[in-house]
Structure 1
Amino acid sequence: MKSKQPNMNLGAALLFVIFSLLFFVLLLRFLFIQVTGEAGGQVLAAKAEQKYKKERIIDASRGSIFDRKGEVIAEDIVGYKLVAILDESLTTNPKKPKHVVNPKTTAKALAKHIDMDEPDIYEILTKEKRYQVEFGRAGRDISNKTKQEIEKLKLPGITFVRDTKRFYPNGIFASHLIGYIEKKEDKNGKIKTAGKLGLENSLEGYLKETDGKISFESDLWGYLLPNGKEKITPPKHGSNVYLTIDKIIQTFLEDSMNKVAEEYKPKKIIGIVADAKTGEILAMGQRPTFHPNSREGIEDSWHNEAVENSYEPGSTMKVFTLAAAIEEGVFNPNETFKSGAYVVGRDRIHDHNRYGWGQISYLEGVQRSSNVAFAKIALEKLGEEAFYDYLLEFGFDRPTGIELPNEVGGKILFNVPIEVVTTSYGQGTAVTPIQQIQAMTAIANDGKMRKPQVLKKIVDPNSGKVMKEVKSEVVSTPISAETAKKVRDILETVVTSPKGTGTLYQIDGYQVAGKTGTAQIPGPDGRYLYGHNQYVYSFLGVAPKDDPKLIMYVAVQEPSHENGVNGAVPVAEVFNSVMKHSLQYLNIEPSEVKKATARSIPNLVDQPVEEAKSLLEESGYEAVVIGEGLTVAEQNPPSKTTLLEGQKVIIKTDGNMIMPDMIGWSLRDVMKVVKLAELKLKITGNGYVIKQNLSPGSFMNKGDEINVKLEEPSKTYGGETEGNDEKAKSKGNDKKAKSEGNDETPESEGNDKKTESENMTQEDS
């Protein structure tokens, strides 16, 4: 027993020494941490703050885009992001899994609701084991409807994160002018948005939002500590942008281009409508175009054709050659010249019909769009130097400065006499459509050339303070008011004279002044394209002629239709429809009002629908059919009623009843449908229909309730108006332009080289 005691004492002493050393080390460590505040090379206060301090993002909204009257064109709305949870550890109850259990079944189900193929979804769900995965662009901006459809499937592990999405409520609507935004993931995994194309891009600095955040101290479970510090950085919403675009006029343009694109299938259409007094752009569109919500069609056209591409304009350029000659006092409309051909050195140019019209006056030369007339005006009357100075005054050498990205300037070829000649009638030299609109403001606005603008003002979304306001700007005065009036008077005869090339552009009740153009298209080898309708047909016009309110430019490239049909017909269909409806919408009184004739309506009951429609239309009435049957069952007004021509007669057939499009209708016409279909009517406002709750083309049944919203047409135009409601669309029945008249197609001879002036002869349709 005694031998054990020394060993136990030694062991106890050894343990005492070891524990003493450990205690001493811990004490030193504690003192070190206390003094330095660091452990393991990290600041403990920072680690504690990181652990207990929470941060949440406060979402900011991108600025909205409105038209001139406050109608929304682009805005942020609530959207959802699709997320798949893959971490199996989240499932605590196998009967209620919280992760994706069956990737194959999940992929098959999701492929029916998002724009991604089943194999690609399956690959995302199985490629690597992560806590959760997303589905890129296909899984972002999910609508509430799609979200609900996916939620009904009750797919384990599939959930949604609330997000915002950019929404364009009007669909295809000035798409290249407005642009779109794109979401991309940065290096840190954060989703960033940026404007692409149009104003979404050029006004990014104003529209862009900055998210805010709130940081606070919390316990382990994330709850706010009683005395915890809280710091809030408020979000900075993007500024709101108001444009000069008018939603109603833009809709007129979009609808008209849709019809022409469908019927004639041209390679391109460009349309611009501008306020003649201010240069404000009221509508701008093109085909092909794209849908800004889905991006469908974007691959067909990345450029805004109105500002980003210059091309040979054709004879619309003659407007400005004529204006220069009148301003210089060298244009005598009664002076005559020999038409047909004109020799410039070793080059020869021809009129579009090759042989001309004999000895004619310069006025007739303008009406017939004679190349020879304008060649002689440019070289013999104006002279190269004076003509070039006017081209600069009209701004064809530089961009206009409109608030759109990537604008290009013109390319004036003016080195040798033949280039002076071809420029006078719009070939060789290239300009943009927006440059032609700007130059035309001088003709329409008493010689004062206005800078075109699409931006009206930028407003702070919180305070309502106007941060930036764009005023109409005179950039040049190339001609006098007297000259401008003379030009308009002459251009009116281009439309009204039987000898004029613009007879297709006559609009009942309104005097139109303008110039046609037919430009040849350079091919990839430098030669001009030849063949039926391988041209750019265009028209540049103003109305009403004496006091222009609107300027409009339309160009249609290579329309496809039967040989022998005038290539300008598609242009006229766009111009006439949009110009007439826009003038009516703006309450511009017609200069000539035809007196309507009153007639007694015939009995249409039991007649075939098509025969009844023809009979009404021949009598000057507008037939509206509500039904899908083939025989007339009832009519309103009834037979023997005296009715002024131009008014509506409602025909009910023996089939299912179909709701008509009543936008722009009077209450009297609405009542005709209500009575005939035995509907219940609810009315809001006074004037003409601007909204209806039952969609056009939908079935309607006896007893259905139809709600219509009415509004008085605008009494004035040019300033701000009260209310944001859409104005009534005019329902004109313009007759389709026919192929008769002066179809002037360029002709040339030689080896088709673009550099040879004989091939630079182009004329109008």
Structure 2
Amino acid sequence: MNKKQPNMNVGAAGLFFLFSLLFFILIYRFLSIQITGEAHGQALAARAQQKYANETVIEAVRGTIFDRNAEVIAEDASAYTLVAILDDTVTTNPEKPRHVDDPAKTAKVLAKYIEMDEEEIIERLTKDGAFQVEFGVAGRDISHQIKSELEKEELPGITFIKSSKRFYPNGIFSSHLIGFVEKREKENENGQTETIGQLGIEQSLNEELTGKNGSLEVESDLWGFLLPDGEKKVTPAKNGNDVYLTIDKKIQTFLEDAINRVDEEYKPKKIIALVADAKTGDILAMGQRPTFHPQTREGIAQSWHNEIIETTIEPGSTMKVFTLAAAVEENVFNPNETFESGSYRVTPKSVPIRDHNYGRGWGTISYLEGIQRSSNVAVAKLVNEKLGLDAYRNYLTSFGFDQPTGIDLPNEVVGKIQYQWPIEKITTSFGQGTTMTPIQLVTATTAIANDGKMMKPHVIDKILDSTTGEVVKQIEPEVVGTPISPETAKRVREILETTITDEDHGTGGNYKIDGYRVAGKTGTAQIPGSDGKYLTGHENFLFSFLGMAPTDNPELIVYVAVQQPQIDESTNGSIPVSMIFKPVMKSSLQYLNIQPSTIGKATSNEIPDVSGKNVQEAVVTLQEKGLNPVVVGKGTNVERQLPEAGMITLEGEKVLLKTSGDEVITPDMSEWSLRDTMKFAEIAELKLNKAGNGFVSKQNIKPGTAVAKGEYLIVELTPPLHQKEKEEEEEEMADSEEGDAENQNVEANSNTSSETEEVVTD
């Protein structure tokens, strides 16, 4: 035993040393964690928080885009994504399955609600190894109504993920100005998405509209159950700001409908049109073709550019407006002085500038007649012999043609003034060679319409905090130049009016509007081909009109350009342009309650005031005036009428009468015009969504049904126009065919040699 004792002591000493070492290591580790709060380089508090915290993102609502009258143009709406749970392990009670237990039955029911074939649905529902599946585009953006109907079907395993989508209730509606949004995955965010604005306002004000997500964080146990005494941390979401545009929904609707009509009938390569407030520079409507639907993106591949601010054009004879203004301002325009029309050489060696009628001209005529006939020779001589090339170049700068307008839209470009050689300087005076954007043209025109004050164009009216309603930013009208005097502006308008009213010499007869004085200028610009030469052929032009009304005190400026419409040799190129300009200008003036200069005895009436009257008495009063009253309520007295009292309107106009009480009854709107439909939506305070153009053929709310404020009214419009409107259009076109010498002879341009093709615009 004594021999073994030393070995036992050594072993005991070794064990004591080993356990002591382990003890000291543990003590060191414990103290290290206590002091640093880290293990393996990771913060233990953060790990614990991550393990036991349950965090939910509170999504910020993207700001709403309104028109100038607070009509919704783009807004976030609740939407749902359809999801099917396939894994049978989620089911704990076989009598109450929580997964898809019958794929065939489920597919048959789902096929009634989503745009997907039953066979394709079954294929997804029987996918091996999948815990859950979605249904692609067909299963996204499910409305609350469809979700509710599906929930009533009580399909096991079918559930929904709530989200939001961008809703554009007006469909194709100045799409390039408004833009659209896309959802993209955030980098390193585990599949989380963010909404990014594309094109137009959605892009340029993306930061203002987006807002900032919040979060809800609560503590849970290892199995995900909330702890009873767990802390809650709420970071509220900051919703995006609301944007109010200068666009007027009704005027934009007038424009879209007119453009649709021309697009369908003449199938041009391009249409550009915009309406501006002559006093402020506010853009009231802006449209183009090709365009796209912001909800579906259908058509986006045809044109990504806002043609009005991102594409330059040769303006053609609309440029003569500003050449004339410069000559009048410098007091070198004598309307009674004569010159020899036909052709003109700037220098002895330069190619001749020719008038648009094959260069034949009209003999010796006055300069006033030269402007009325849109003579290239007239403006060439004014600039070269009277105004001076240097002085004219200064006016081009004063009118803003060599700088951006600063409109609050992305990607604005600037045209190029060709002013190196003598011939280029002169062709610029009638709009050839030199380029500019349509928005530059309209901006310069505000100086003519607004007594010399040129206004900066705007599409944004104000930006509001969507939570508090406080104004974040307010846009005020801004004068950006005074290139001419008020006296010059007035005189130029009067001269331009004669290009429309002079039946013998005027080139703008197609643009007369009954009851309103219009001043403006036609344009027929040649189009450069891929080989650098101008295209030839009767239809290969950019036909345009730049007009303002009323002449004595313009309220509106309308610019319309139609490129290469499909017209035959007998059709005047100004016809499709006037089919947009005239209805848009006239309807807009009437809508804005701008009184006509003359009122026909049998065609128009002043709407009497019947508010507060007994319904039967009100109906009789309106009928006696040749108006068509429509009662939209069951009360005994008239509470509100639309159009308002005092407005001038045509015989047969529908006057909507809202009766006392909260109940509004939906009328049968079959064959109603969009304008009348808009009146009902306004008086009933409904959200209007239209599809197509023409007249109402379907409505989602049955006639006789009571409606509540804020509901959606969806109507389907179908062409063609009523026969009465067709006859009126044909009569107006026939009345204006005579005296339009400009475009009757435009085919002369197609026979001009390449040496002189730069000088043959009207």
Q: TM-score range by the shorter chain?
A: 0.7 to 0.9
| Pair 377,243 (structure 1): closer, same or farther in 2 beyond 3 Å | same
Counterparts of residues 289-688 of structure 1 (less than 5 Å): 289-344=291-346, 345-354=349-358, 355-498=360-503, 499-596=505-602, 647=627
Question: CA-to-partner distance for each residue in 1:705-737, whole Å, 9 max, x for gaps?
Answer: 266999xxxxxxxxxxxxxx9xxxxx9966344
1:150 deviates by 5.4
SS at the partner of 2:587?
Answer: helix
- Between 452-461 and 182-191, the greater mean CA deviation after superposition: 182-191
445-454 or 139-148: bigger deviation: 139-148
Alpha-carbon distance, 1:47 to partner:
2.7
Task: Point out the more displaced range, 571-580 or 254-263.
Answer: 254-263
In the alignment, what sits opposite 1:747? 748
Matching residue's letter, 2:522: T
Deviation at 1:46, TM superposition (A): 3.1
Distance change (3 Å), C-alpha of 1:204 and 1:699: closer
Query: What do the CA deviations read for 1:547-606 (whole angstroms, capped 9, x no partner)?
Result: 1111111111122244301111111111111111111111111111122289xxxxxxxx
Residue 428 of structure 1: how far off its partner (Å): 0.9
Distance 1:560 1:735, change over 3 A: same
Q: What TM-score does the superposition give when structure 2 sets the normalisation length?
A: 0.79
Displacement of 1:700 after TM fit? Answer: 12
**Separation (CA, whole Å) in 2 of partners of 1:707 and 1:400:** 48
- CA displacement at 1:126 relative to structure 2: 7.8
Report the CA distance between 1:669 and its aligned residue: 7.1
The corresponding residue for 2:30 is: 33
Q: Secondary structure at the match of 2:165?
A: strand
Q: Is the 8 A contact 2:537 2:747 kept in 1?
A: no
Counterpart residue identity of residue 36, structure 1 = I
Q: Residue 671 of structure 2 aligns with which residue?
A: none
* One-letter code aligned to 1:536: L
Q: 2:512 and 2:442 mapped to 1: Cα distance?
A: 20
Q: 1:166 aligns to what SS in structure 2?
A: strand
Cα distance change, pair 649–68 in 1 and its aligned pair in 2 (3 A): closer
8 Å Cα contact 1:597/1:644 also seen in 2: no
Distance of aligned partners of 1:381 and 1:597 in 2 relative to their CA distance in 1, 3 Å threshold? closer
TM-score by length of 1: 0.79
* Change over 3 Å in CA distance of 1:752–1:308 after alignment to 2: farther
Which residue in the other structure is 1:69 paired with?
Answer: 69
Structure 2 CA distance for partners of 1:117 and 1:378, relative to 1, 3 Å: farther
Separation (CA, whole Å) in 1 of partners of 2:116 and 2:23: 60
8 Å contact 1:501–1:516 — kept in the other structure? yes
Which residue identity does 2:83 align to in structure 1? V
Matches within 5 A, 1:115-194: 129=129, 131-134=131-134, 139-148=139-148, 157-187=157-187, 188=189, 189-194=191-196
Q: Deviations over 1:601-643 (max 9, x none)?
A: xxxxxxxxxxxxxxxxxxx9xxxxxxxxxxxxxxxxxxxx998
Match of 1:658 in 2: none
* Structure 1 residue 303, shift from structure 2 partner: 1.0
1:64-103 residue pairs with structure 2 within 5 A? 64-93=64-93, 97-99=97-99
TM-fit CA distance, 1:523: 1.5
Which of 261, 283, 286 is matched with 1:284 structurally?
286
Assess, with a 3 A threshold, how the Cα gap between structure 1 residues 102 and 393 changes in structure 2: closer, same or farther: farther
- Is the 1:746–1:761 Cα contact (8 Å) retained in structure 2? no
Alignment of 1:707-726 (within 5 A): none
Work out the CA distance in 2 between the residues paired with 1:489 and 1:348. Answer: 31
For residue 748 of structure 2, give the secondary structure of its aligned residue in structure 1. coil
Contact 1:172/1:290 (8 A) holds in 2: yes
Q: Contact 2:342–2:362 at 8 Å: present in 1 too?
A: yes
Kindly tell me: are residues 135 and 442 of structure 1, through their superposed partners in 2, closer, same or farther at Cα, counting changes over 3 Å?
same
CA shift for structure 1 position 387: 0.9
Aligned to 1:738: 733
Q: Indicate conservation of the 8 Å contact 1:510/1:544, yes or no.
A: yes
Identify if the C-alpha distance between structure 1 residues 391 and 218 changes in structure 2 by more than 3 Å, giving closer, same or farther. same
Opposite residue 455 of structure 2, the aligned amino acid is R
Does the CA-based 8 Å contact 2:643-2:656 persist in structure 1? Answer: no
> 2:704 is matched with which residue?
705
Aligned partner of 1:760 in structure 2 is: 759
Question: 1: distance between equivalents of 2:126 and 2:238?
Answer: 39
* 1:155-190 Cα distance to aligned partner (Å, 9 max, x none): 654421111111111111111111111111233311
Q: CA deviation at 1:280?
A: 0.6
Measure, in 1, the Cα distance between the counterparts of 2:655 and 2:431.
53
Cα 1:211/1:286, change in 2 over 3 Å: same
**What is the distance in 2 between the residues matched to 1:60 and 1:87?**
33
In structure 2, the CA distance between the partners of 1:502 and 1:462, relative to structure 1 (3 Å rule), is: same
Structure 1 residues 380, 671: CA separation in 2 closer, same or farther (over 3 Å shift)? closer
* CA shift digits 1:510-529 (9 cap, x unpaired): 10000011111111222222
Aligned mates of 1:688, 1:708 — CA distance in 2: 15
User: Which stretch of the first structure deviates more once superposed, 241-250 or 739-748?
Assistant: 739-748
Cα–Cα, structure 1 residues 156 and 224, in superposed 2: closer, same or farther, change >3 Å?
A: closer
The match for 2:46 is: 46
Query: How many angstroms apart in 2 are the aligned matches of 1:132 and 1:562?
Result: 60
User: Distance in 2 between the 1:294 and 1:497 partners?
Assistant: 48
Task: Count the aligned residue pairs.
Answer: 675
Q: Secondary structure at the match of 2:352?
A: strand
CA distance, structure 2, for counterparts of residue 207 and residue 353 of structure 1: 54
Distance in 2 separating the partners of 1:376 and 1:425: 11
Identity of aligned residues (%): 55
1:246-272 C-alpha deviation (Å, 9 max, x unpaired) = 111111111111222122222221111
Per the alignment, residue 716 of structure 2 pairs with none
Cα pair distance change 1:524/1:136, threshold 3 Å: farther
Q: Deviations over 1:87-117 (max 9, x none)?
A: 4432345565544568899789767765678
Pick closer, same or farther for the CA change 1:381–1:118 going to 2, 3 Å.
farther
Cα gap change, 1:597 to 1:331, in 2 (>3 Å): closer
Deviates more, 1:414-423 or 1:22-31: 22-31
Q: 1:707 to 1:596 in 2, by over 3 A?
A: farther
Matches of 1:489 and 1:709, distance apart in 2: 50
The separation in 2 between residues aligned to 1:340 and 1:210, in whole angstroms, is 66
Equivalences for residues 164-243 of structure 1 within 5 A:
164-187=164-187, 188=189, 189-225=191-227, 227-243=229-245
Q: Secondary structure at the match of 1:738?
A: helix
Query: 3-state SS of the aligned residue for 1:697?
Result: strand
